[in-house]
């Protein structure tokens, strides 16, 4: 779950503890252009207070109005659709025939919300099933690689564990990269055995981890929701960490340096260690998208832009030319 989803879960649990009436709304399916992807959710309180989002704002306004009008009562989940017609799409800000199908739970079970929160706090993968016909909701252990499922009756969503970013080096670029990554929902860990850098690390929310970088990589047991970025420019620190990271299932591994430095790094890793060509090919270096970045904050932006593209399985070189094939779509994205 990203930070926004955790905020929704936190608000829902808080409102439940306060005895407030609220609903949970989850995007189950979209057609055409839609502001939020399937799985996005929001909590809507009876007095109109909202946490999270399912659109750009217009649909939230309508849901608030309908909540106040008493349309969402009882305990049975229901399906709500927006943008079915062109007029509705324009009214609710859904461009080019976009359509949203939402699952709305007017009375979420507080015990199940606590169960989900406890699983996520323990770093576990969890799934949540909502049966709109029977009204049954359940939370159970998730399975890696399983995506959201929706058949018009049952919604299955996957939650957690945290997206993690391990930064090797506590230098100036890291001071910009860490807070940006935190804002994107990553749990950020920083490793730098150099006392002159580690002693001055004071970025709120970014945890300083003791030890040598390669040992830390192994201790973290990187998973497909993990990223590693090496920024020390010191082969003694970066290379060993990269060696272990490239063998792991981490979705992104990058290293700071010029094209020449990166070529030398790959040569070292191949010559002295048992990395395969496929493992070496996973290394992003020079790290970040080529946006002409020069300053530390610009480099941090380029790194996170590339991480986001990889995370979302988007090729930045061709993303702007991809034409939607959905029959309701009418724009180039």
Question: Is residue 88 located within the same domain as residue 132?
Answer: yes
Range of the domain at 256: 163-311
Q: How far is CA 201 from the centre of its chain?
A: 25
Tell which of 116, 132, 159 closes a domain: 159
Q: How far apart are CA 329 and CA 5, in angstroms?
A: 28
Which range among 36-40, 104-108, 184-188, 282-286 shows the weakest confidence by mean pLDDT? 36-40
Is residue 237 situated within a structural domain?
A: yes
Percent of the chain, pLDDT > 90? 65
Tell which of 136, 159, 182 closes a domain: 159
For residues 117-139, b (16+ Cβ closer than 10 Å) or e, as one string? bebbeeeebbbbebebeeeebeb
Question: Is residue 137 located within the same domain as residue 184?
Answer: no
Cβ proximity of 160 and 125 under 8 Å: yes
Q: How far apart are CA 83 and CA 89, in angstroms?
A: 4
Helix (H, G, I), strand (E, B) or coil at 155: strand
Q: What ranges in the chain are assigned the alpha helix state H?
A: 3-17, 58-68, 86-91, 110-121, 172-183, 195-198, 213-220, 235-247, 259-272, 277-281, 296-311
Total structural domains within the chain: 2
Is the pLDDT at 101 greater than 70? The verdict is yes
Tell which of 159, 181, 203 closes a domain: 159
Is residue 329 situated within a structural domain?
A: no
Is residue 322 situated within a structural domain?
A: no
What is the phi/psi pair of residue 164, to 5°? -120, 145
What's the whole-number average pLDDT of the chain?
A: 87
Is the pLDDT at 287 greater than 60? The verdict is yes
Which range among 53-62, 89-98, 273-282 shows the weakest confidence by mean pLDDT? 89-98
Neighbouring-strand partners of residue 230:
168, 255
Question: Is residue 148 located within the same domain as residue 167?
Answer: no
Is residue 330 situated within a structural domain?
A: no
CA dihedral 5, 10, 15, 18 (to 10 degrees): 170
Question: Is residue 274 located within the same domain as residue 256?
Answer: yes
Mean pLDDT confidence for 306-323: 75
Residue tagged 């999270």 (tokens): 52
Question: Is residue 139 located within the same domain as residue 227?
Answer: no
Question: Is residue 155 located within the same domain as residue 167?
Answer: no
Question: Is residue 181 located within the same domain as residue 266?
Answer: yes
Question: Is residue 111 located within the same domain as residue 193?
Answer: no
Q: How far apart are CA 158 and CA 162, in angstroms?
A: 12
Question: Is residue 152 located within the same domain as residue 182?
Answer: no
- Asked, as a colleague might, if the bond just before 161 is cis with ω within 30 of 0, I would say yes
Question: Is residue 186 located within the same domain as residue 300?
Answer: yes
Question: Is residue 174 located within the same domain as residue 127?
Answer: no
Q: How far apart are CA 161 and CA 224, in angstroms?
A: 10
Question: Is residue 149 located within the same domain as residue 95?
Answer: yes
Res 330: pLDDT: 26
Q: How far apart are CA 42 and CA 26, in angstroms?
A: 7
Which range among 72-76, 171-175, 254-258, 274-278 shows the weakest confidence by mean pLDDT? 274-278
Is the pLDDT at 143 greater than 90? The verdict is no
Cβ proximity of 104 and 25 under 8 Å: yes
DSSP 257-317: S-HHHHHHHHHHHHHHS---HHHHHTEE-S-S--S---SHHHHHHHHHHHHHHHHTT--TT
Neighbouring-strand partners of residue 78:
104
Residue tagged 């030890």 (tokens): 211
CATH number of the domain that residue 221 is part of: 3.40.50.720
């Amino acid at each position: 779950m990203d930070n926004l989803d955790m905020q929704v879960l936190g608000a829902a649990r808080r409102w439940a503890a306060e005895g407030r009436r609220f609903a949970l709304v989850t995007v189950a399916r979209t057609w055409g252009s839609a502001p939020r992807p399937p799985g996005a959710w929001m909590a809507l309180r009876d007095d109109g207070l909202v946490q999270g989002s399912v659109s750009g704002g217009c649909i939230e306004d309508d849901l608030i109005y309908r909540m106040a009008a008493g349309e969402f009562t009882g305990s049975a989940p229901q399906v709500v659709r927006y943008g079915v017609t062109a007029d509705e799409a324009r009214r609710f800000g859904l461009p080019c025939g976009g359509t949203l199908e939402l699952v709305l739970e007017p009375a979420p079970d507080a015990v199940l919300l606590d169960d989900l929160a406890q699983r996520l706090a323990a770093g576990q993968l969890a799934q949540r099933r909502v049966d709109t016909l029977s009204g049954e909701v359940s939370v159970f252990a998730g399975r890696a690689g399983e995506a959201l499922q929706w058949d018009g009756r049952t919604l299955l969503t996957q939650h957690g564990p945290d997206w993690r970013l391990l930064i090797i080096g506590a230098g100036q670029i890291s001071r910009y990269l860490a807070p940006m990554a935190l804002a994107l929902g990553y749990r950020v860990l920083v490793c730098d055995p150099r006392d002159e850098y580690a002693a001055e690390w004071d970025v709120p929310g970014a945890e300083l981890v003791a030890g040598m970088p390669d040992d830390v990589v192994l201790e973290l047991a990187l998973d497909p929701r993990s990223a590693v970025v090496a920024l020390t420019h010191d082969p003694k620190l970066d290379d060993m960490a990269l060696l272990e990271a490239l063998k792991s299932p981490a979705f992104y591994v990058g290293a700071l340096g010029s094209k020449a430095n990166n070529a030398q790094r790959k040569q070292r890793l191949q010559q002295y260690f048992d990395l395969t060509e496929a493992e070496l090919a996973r290394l992003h270096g020079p790290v970040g998208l080529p946006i002409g970045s020069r300053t530390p904050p610009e480099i941090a932006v380029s790194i996170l832009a590339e991480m986001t593209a990889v995370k979302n399985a988007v090729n930045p070189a061709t993303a702007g030319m991809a034409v939607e094939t959905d029959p309701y779509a009418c724009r180039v994205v």
